Amino acid sequence: MTNPQTGPDPIRLHIAAEKLPRDGLEIRYEANEAERAALARHLDILEVRELRADLTASRWRGEGVKVKGSLRAILVQESVVTLEPVSQALNEAFETTFVPEGSRLAPVPQTGENEIHVDLESEDPPETFRGPQIDVGPFLMEAVSLGLDPYPRESDVAFEAVDTDPDPKAGVRSAFDVLTTLVPRETKGAKGE
C-alpha cells in the first residue's frame, strides 16, 4: 500500500516524521463513533464496536520511521450460516516501516516485468511517504481488514449437508450414464457384428 495519503480513508492518524523524540513517540489511538461507522461501511461489515491501537513511532535507519505496537478491535459481521450478527475480537501485532519518497531505502520499482517476486522469508519492504507527515490510518485499516474472519459464524453452528437430488432413492449415477442416452438403442452392439 504505497502512498496511502491519496484518497479519503475512514481513519487518519498523522505522525510528524521529522519531529520524533530520540526514544520514540508513544501513540494511543481510539477510533471515535464516526470513524468506526465509516470503517464498518468501508469493510462492508455490520459494525466496528471498538478500535484501539497502542503504538510507538521511532527513527529507523536515519531517515525512516518504524511504527510498531498492538491493535485491538471488536468487529460485528453477518454469520455465513444463519445471517445473524457475530462478534469477533481482534488482537493483532502491528509493525510497519516508512521511508520518504526518493530515499535510498525505498523499494526499487521493477519495470518491464510482468511478474512480482515475493520472498516470504524476508521482511516487508518499507512504505513510502511524501511530505513531513505519515498517515498510519490506512495501515491500521489494512490490519483490521486482514484480521477479519472470512467465514464468520457462531461457534456452535455448522453447515448441514443438504440433499438436492430430486430422486434420492434412484442411487448414485455416473456422469457417463448420460452418454448412454445419446446413443440409439438399436445401434448398441452393432459394432461387434
Query: What mean pLDDT comes out for the span 27-56?
Result: 96
Q: Is the pLDDT of residue 161 over 80?
A: no
Banded pLDDT at 2 (limits 50, 70, 90): very low
Q: Using a CB cutoff of 8 Å and minimum separation of 24, what contacts does 145-152 make?
A: 145/43, 147/71, 147/73, 147/90, 147/92, 148/43, 148/45, 148/75, 148/77, 148/88, 148/90, 149/77, 149/88, 151/80, 152/77, 152/78, 152/79, 152/80, 152/86, 152/88
**Looking at residue 84, what is its pLDDT?**
92
100-157 pLDDT per residue, tens: 988 887 776 666 666 666 677 777 889 999 999 999 999 999 999 999 999 998 887 6
Banded pLDDT at 5 (limits 50, 70, 90): very low
Whole-prediction pTM: 0.72
